[in-house]
Structure formats: C-alpha cells, structure tokens
C-alpha cells in the first residue's frame, strides 16, 4: 500500500467515524432523516425505510439504492462493499431470506459497531459484518452471488484493486450492481481536496474509466443502468462537507460551497453500474 493511499484511507475512515457519531439534522422537517446529502433521492421506498431500525436509516450516506435494481433471489449470498451502518445489508437480508446470507465489509470500527447494533435490532440472523478494506476483501474466492455497494468505491484510492477483488469473490455467473459517484472534467483544486474526497467528490472517476476498470478485471456485460446527474442544489449538500448535514457548512463557508457547486454542476452524477463474471 502506498503512503498516499494509506493517508487517503485513514482520512476517509476518520471522517466517517466522526459522521456516524453526529445526530441527524432536523431542520428540514419531521420523520426519519438521513445524513447523506442526496440519499432522499436515492430510490428507497418509504415502506422499506420504515421497516428498518432508525439508526440504520439516519446513518445512511449513500447515493443510490443498489438493492432496488439487483435481482436478488432467495438463497443468494450477497456482499456489500463499505456497508456502513447497514441500511443495504438489512434490505438485502430481507430479500434473500433465511436460506441466503449477507456479508458487509467496512474498515471503520464505529460503522461496524453501529451496523451490528442495527442487525441485532432488526432480528435478522442471516447477515454479518466483517472488518476489512475493499481492496483486500476478507472473503473467499468464488463465494458470492452478488456484490453491491453504495457510494463507496469512489472513496478508494486504489480502484483497480477493488475491481479485481469483485471479480475474485464472485462465483462464475455472479453479478455486481453498485451505486456510485462518477465525474468528468473536475479541476485539480477539487480533485486534490481531502475534505471533498471524504464527501464522495474528489475521488470519483469517469464512467468510461469505471467501466474499463471492471472489464480489465475480467467482468463482462458491463454497463450503466441508471443515472442521476446532480444539479447545483444537490451538490451543495455534498460540499457541505464531512457529513455535517445540509443545515450547516462543515469545512467550508457558504461562499465556498456555492462556488464549488457551480463548478461541479453537470460534471458529477450517481450511476448504477452492472457487471457479470463469466459463467465458465
């Protein structure tokens, strides 16, 4: 592991450890609130969220609902990369049933602790969380039917290793569907900001690079299945950084937030990306 990759990984872990300890913001009204900047646009059904422990919902930092479009079946083994507080773990566990199994991987102790609390509160017995990094998964080769992930791979400083690990752990014929942030033509001042890295912006690569990386790892039928391009108001939520919530300014003042949002408008979006491991 390079020193730069280790530094980025440590900064991201610290940011999420800090974020999960914060109370959810409530300036936008009542009901279950999430800390993620655009998670309310991510495709979760109200009925789904209402069925989960409150702490799984309010501590979601995702940019999509990878479970919604995944063809999970009863009995499937599912792996969630960067499982956080467990919102997608729990939804997947309900879909695969008692004969299936769901594994979450996270590198942040505070997130793992919160996820395990949420799993216990849910009463589900077919789900577990393991500590590890997504570039070196503590999961056997050829052992899972689906890989899912929610706005996490963009945070990796070594994405080619992540793509290789996805290909390694999938069974022949296994599939992946991840929601992630992609970007194009970002200026260096944004790409070099550690704060914006933790906010899922600076580390994002282009769709073309993403798909090429998955193909290079050996996956096939790679494609983007859905997109949500962020406008200026959505991007302000990202830049309102380190998950302070859209009611405060985090590491940036309001003028900086507006300036960054204008620069990034139309250049950043959430994509649902699919791939499959060859069956033979």
Cα–Cα distance between 13 and 155 in angstroms, integer? 10
DSSP 36: S
pLDDT in the model for residue 233: 77
Its sign, for the CA torsion 194, 238, 182, 277, is: positive
Residues near 127 by beta carbon (within 8 Å), at least 6 away in sequence: 86, 89, 90, 92, 93, 101, 102, 103, 104, 119
User: pTM (2 decimals)?
Assistant: 0.80
Cα–Cα distance between 222 and 15 in angstroms, integer? 31
CB count in 10 Å sphere of residue 266: 12
pLDDT in the model for residue 53: 52
DSSP 200: T
pLDDT in the model for residue 124: 94
pLDDT in the model for residue 190: 81
Cα–Cα distance between 96 and 99 in angstroms, integer? 7
Q: Which of 111, 90, 91, 104 is nearest to 35 (CA)?
A: 111
What residue ranges of the chain have pLDDT lower than 50?
24-41, 56-61, 241-250
pLDDT in the model for residue 102: 97
Cα–Cα distance between 179 and 153 in angstroms, integer? 9
Strand pairing of 170-183 and 268-277? antiparallel
Three-state secondary structure call for residue 125: coil
pLDDT in the model for residue 241: 46
**Is there a contact between 148 and 80 (Cβ–Cβ < 8 Å)?**
yes
Cα–Cα distance between 180 and 34 in angstroms, integer? 17
Residues near 92 by beta carbon (within 8 Å), at least 6 away in sequence: 67, 70, 72, 78, 80, 102, 127, 146, 148
Cα–Cα distance between 7 and 17 in angstroms, integer? 15
pLDDT in the model for residue 44: 54
Domains of the chain: 3-277 (3.40.50.150)
pLDDT in the model for residue 258: 77
């Amino acid at each position: 592991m390079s020193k730069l990759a280790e530094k980025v990984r440590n900064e991201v872990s610290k940011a999420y450890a800090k974020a999960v300890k914060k109370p959810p913001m409530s300036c936008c009204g009542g009901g279950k609130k999430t800390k993620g900047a655009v998670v309310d646009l991510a495709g979760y059904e109200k009925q789904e969220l209402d069925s989960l422990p409150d702490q799984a919902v309010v501590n979601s930092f995702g940019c999509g609902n990878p479970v919604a479009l995944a063809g999970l079946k009863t009995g499937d083994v599912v792996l969630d990369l960067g499982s956080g507080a467990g919102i997608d773990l729990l939804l997947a566990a309900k879909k695969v049933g008692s004969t299936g199994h769901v594994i979450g991987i996270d590198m942040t102790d505070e997130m793992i602790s919160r996820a395990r609390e949420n799993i216990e509160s849910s009463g589900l017995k077919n789900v577990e969380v393991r500590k590890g990094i997504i570039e070196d998964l503590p999961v056997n080769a050829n052992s899972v039917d689906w890989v899912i992930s929610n706005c996490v791979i963009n945070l990796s400083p070594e994405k080619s290793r992540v793509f290789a690990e996805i290909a390694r752990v999938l069974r022949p014929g296994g599939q992946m569907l991840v929601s992630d942030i992609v970007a194009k033509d970002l200026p260096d001042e944004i790409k070099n900001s550690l704060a914006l890295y933790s906010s899922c912006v600076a580390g994002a690569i282009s769709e073309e690079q993403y798909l090429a990386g998955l193909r290079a790892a050996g996956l096939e039928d790679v494609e983007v299945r859905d997109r949500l391009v962020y406008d200026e108001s959505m991007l302000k939520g990202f830049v309102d950084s380190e998950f302070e919530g859209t009611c405060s300014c985090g590491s940036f003042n309001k003028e900086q937030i507006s300036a960054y949002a204008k620069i990034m408008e139309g250049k950043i979006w959430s994509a649902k990306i699919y791939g499959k491991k060859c069956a033979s």
